[in-house]
Chain A
Amino acid sequence: MFNYRESVAWADVPLMSMNDLRSAVVERCRKGWRMLAFFGVPASDGVETVCVLADASARLLDAMRAKPGREYPSLTPQCPQAHLFERELFELWGVKPQGHPWLKPVRFRPPAQGPRSSRPGPAQADYYRVDGAEVHEVAVGPVHAGVIEPGHFRFQCYGENVMHLEIQLGFQHRDVERLILDAPATRALPLVENIAGDTAIGHATAYCTVLERLAGIRITDRAHILRRLALELERLANHTRDLGAIGGDTGFLPTSAWNGRITGDFLNLTAELCGSRFGRNLLCPGGVKWDVDAALSQALVKRLRAAFRDARGSVDVMLETSSVLARLTGTGKVAFEDARSLGLVGMAARSCGVSMDARMDWPLCDLDNGSLHKRMRTTGDVLARTLLRSDELNDSAASAENDLLQLGFSSGEEPCRVAMPASMPPDRLAVAQVEGWRGEICHVGITGNNGQWLAYKVVDPSFHNWSGLAMALRNEQISDFPLCNKSFNLSYCGHDL
């Protein structure tokens, strides 16, 4: 076990038999630990599996590894949150989890090593099917009617009712994890910022944190404040947009129209920081590239207040409207037990009553969280996700304002960037957990004996949460799909990487 802010020597990550790893993981998960990542690392004789577990109550991480051979007894029956990790392991490394209930490719890509010719066509696989005289199947995508990313959805319907929804992604697979290892070092950060374009700050923070923890570098408080400011602006923009989209799918058009504009106001605040509306090129290992002086702080506070006033007013008229509330209440429910066992993260999990928020559970620095609170709801429906986002708007706006004011007062007192060593220490593992607006982003970096990456694993919140959307659709009407989808608004490329 190790402190989450420190790196651990690769040699100290215990190598055990796959059976021991399996029982250790199952035992820990029963005690409330969570699986952060479970993935393959190339080894001299094939592949080693690494499992990183987290215990939020003690703020401890643990890592263990094993040689899985060609097959091993699956963890998923006892530990459902492993289901996608095991499918991924199977697809990438050909390691078969015996007894996995639904073993099929995740991204329809060729194996990590060996011939690349033997790839299945995208989404070409068996689908869960319901048979019966009046049962029908609805297939949607990959290309959708709107301006969104591609993905394939299969609904098994009885009349209007959805008995099961299977979500098959992989169309967006760009092989980012591999590119991070292979591409020139100058390209790594831009690549990470493109993992999920609407979460550039979240992923960049995770990547920089992994590098800083590996190097044992402490960045300045000012850098932490700037990063937090950017992260909360990202949350404000995305929540505002999605609340507008929920308005749109409910047929409440005023909020839909206004929020589209107000989202832009928040994005433009981020652009004031670094020139890019999505926060590209703001962060760097060691801190941030752009500082905020007193004059900019003052101007931004004024604009932030105006944008927040508009967002609040726009969302409030929607949430005062009884027909909207009626539409949202009870729609797309996810049960607490499902959310916990499937390992949902972030605001989707908090809406079901699962207490987790990396900002409080795994703080990146010792600064006080101020007006940021772990917001919770218990009903797990679209209404819960809507109200939770609405609550988080208040927190994020207050936090961003305080951070801007503090940056203005303390302008020039300390730098926002410290120097990083020229190379990374060899044979170490570090983990970063960052609460992006969708939920916890987890990056795991492992260096090899030359200080280069041995493996770099990225777990986007969408990786876990697409299963939540599938659960939300059970026994709902098919026409509820768009609304449920918007309430989660998951990333396709974050899942597909």
Chain B
Amino acid sequence: MLNIIRERLHQGYRTLNYPFVSPTISPRFAGLPSLTPTSCRSCNHRACLTVCPTGALRVTAEGPELDMGRCLFCRACEQACQEHKITFTHEHRLAAYTRDALIVRGPAPEDMERPGIRQARGQQKRDLSLFGRSLKLREVSAGGCMACEADVNVLGTLIYDLGRFGIEYAASPRHADGILVTGPVTENMRKALLDTWDAVPEPKIVIAVGVCAISGGTFRGSREGCNGVESVLPEGSVDVYVPGCPPNPWTILDGILSVAWKNA
């Protein structure tokens, strides 16, 4: 018993006062992409397009365009672009309310490193303020590789302490305000996902976490379904998109908070 108390004192208090204090994330972390608007017409290489594993990049007349909903944040394009028009910043807050808002077209805003809650990109599809004080989520892994699941789960640990925001993972969809989906949604999980969704009482929300849930990620085009939540659930049902492969836990926390935080 004394040993447990001694160890408890050693382990200390670890919860970070997020979002008022910025978390420390590895300097090598790839966050929000920043693109220089430029005509890529002079560039004959188009190396960025060939190295991208998931077709997340497009080159338009106004310059490069990067879809975070497909991006693995692998930096291959950053290294391939000889004119250094594509860079990845250290900003971990990446969530968006609409699919289109995940597409990055210009440079990253300059004030982004400032701590504090920020609205997710784009406009809410509907008013989410109802969920602002208490949010119970049913997590559905539908083909997820356990990386997203692990970083969703970790939000319950004492560094993040999800409970202090009034957010919890519910064991049953009947007790939930919405579902949080990870994974590309395999053919064999299609029905289970739809059944879970149907079992959640209205009004309900959907949070798609990870590039797989958003677009299928690396599994896009598989013959076993795998093109993301929106290929299965009714159109317009996803309220928040959290990109990354997998997203950093702080990115996921920011995404969930963009639904449910009293000051959001």
Chain A residues with CB under 8 Å of chain B are: 107-109, 116, 119, 121-122, 142-143, 145-150, 170-176, 178-179, 182-184, 186-187, 189-191, 194-198, 200, 241, 254, 257-258, 260-261, 263-264, 268, 271-278, 280-281, 290, 310, 313-314, 316-317, 320-321, 491-493
Contacts and interface: CB of A to CB of B under 8 A. Distances in A.
B72 to A, nearest CB: 6
Given A108-B188, A254-B4, A263-B154, A491 B51 contact: no
Instruction: Give the interface centre of B3, B7, B30 by most chain A CB atoms within 10 Å.
Output: B7
B34 interface: no
B28 to A, nearest CB: 4
Contacts of A316: 3, 7
B34 to A, nearest CB: 16
A107 B183 CA distance: 17
Nearest to A179: B222
B163 interface: no
B147 A198 contact: yes
Contact of B7 (A176, A183, A254): A254
A288 B224 CA distance: 31
Interface in B235-251: 245-246, 248-249
Interface residues of B, number: 68
Interface of B: 3-4, 7-8, 10-11, 14, 25-30, 50-54, 72-76, 139-154, 156-159, 169, 171-172, 183-184, 186-189, 191-192, 196, 212, 217-219, 221-224, 226, 245-246, 248-249
Nearest to A262: B11
B189 A142 contact: yes
Contacts of B212: 194
B254 to A, nearest CB: 16
A184 B53 contact: yes
Contacts of A122: 188-189, 191-192
Contact of B147 (A178, A191, A275, A278): A278
A190 B147 contact: no
B75 A197 contact: no
Contact of B26 (A121, A171, A182, A275): A275
A264 B191 contact: no
Contacts of A258: 7, 11, 158
A278 B219 CA distance: 18
A148 B144 CA distance: 9
A447 B248 CA distance: 37
Contact of A196 (B27, B141, B146): B146
Contacts of B222: 174-175, 178-179
A99 B144 CA distance: 35
Nearest to B3: A317
B53 A310 contact: no
B29 A187 contact: no
Nearest to B172: A145
Given A174-B222, A190-B53, A260 B152 contact: no
Contacts of B8: 254
Nearest to A241: B150
Given A198-B150, A254-B4, A150 B142 contact: yes
A260 B145 contact: no
Contacts of A257: 157-158
A191 to B, nearest CB: 5
A310 B72 CA distance: 32
Given A194-B145, A280-B74, 9 more contacts: A172-B144, A175-B222, A175-B226, A191-B219, A194-B245, A196-B145, A197-B246, A254-B7, A491-B146
B14 A261 contact: yes
A255 to B, nearest CB: 9
B147 A143 contact: no
B50 A186 contact: yes
Contacts of B50: 186
B10 A194 contact: no
Contacts of A184: 53
A313 B10 contact: yes
Nearest to B244: A276
A276 B149 CA distance: 15
Contacts of A142: 189, 192
Contacts of B74: 190, 280-281
B150 to A, nearest CB: 6
6 smallest CB-CB distances across A and B, nearest first, come from: A197-B147, A260-B157, A197-B145, A275-B28, A145-B171, A122-B188
A187 B74 CA distance: 11
A182 B224 CA distance: 13
Given A173-B224, A317-B3, A260 B186 contact: no
Nearest to A198: B146
A361 B75 CA distance: 36
Nearest to A191: B218
Contacts of B10: 310, 313
Nearest to B31: A275
Given A179-B222, A190-B74, A148 B25 contact: no
A149 B192 contact: no
Contacts of B51: 186
A313 to B, nearest CB: 5
B3 A174 contact: no
Contact of B143 (A148, A172, A187, A277): A172
Contacts of A148: 141, 146, 149
A187 to B, nearest CB: 4
A17 B75 CA distance: 49
B52 A313 contact: no
25 contacts: A109-B224, A147-B152, A150-B189, A171-B186, A172-B188, A172-B189, A173-B188, A174-B184, A174-B186, A174-B222, A179-B221, A184-B53, A186-B53, A187-B53, A194-B212, A194-B218, A194-B245, A195-B145, A200-B147, A271-B26, A271-B29, A274-B28, A313-B7, A491-B146, A492-B146
B152 A183 contact: no
A148 B140 CA distance: 8
Contact of B28 (A150, A183, A273): A273
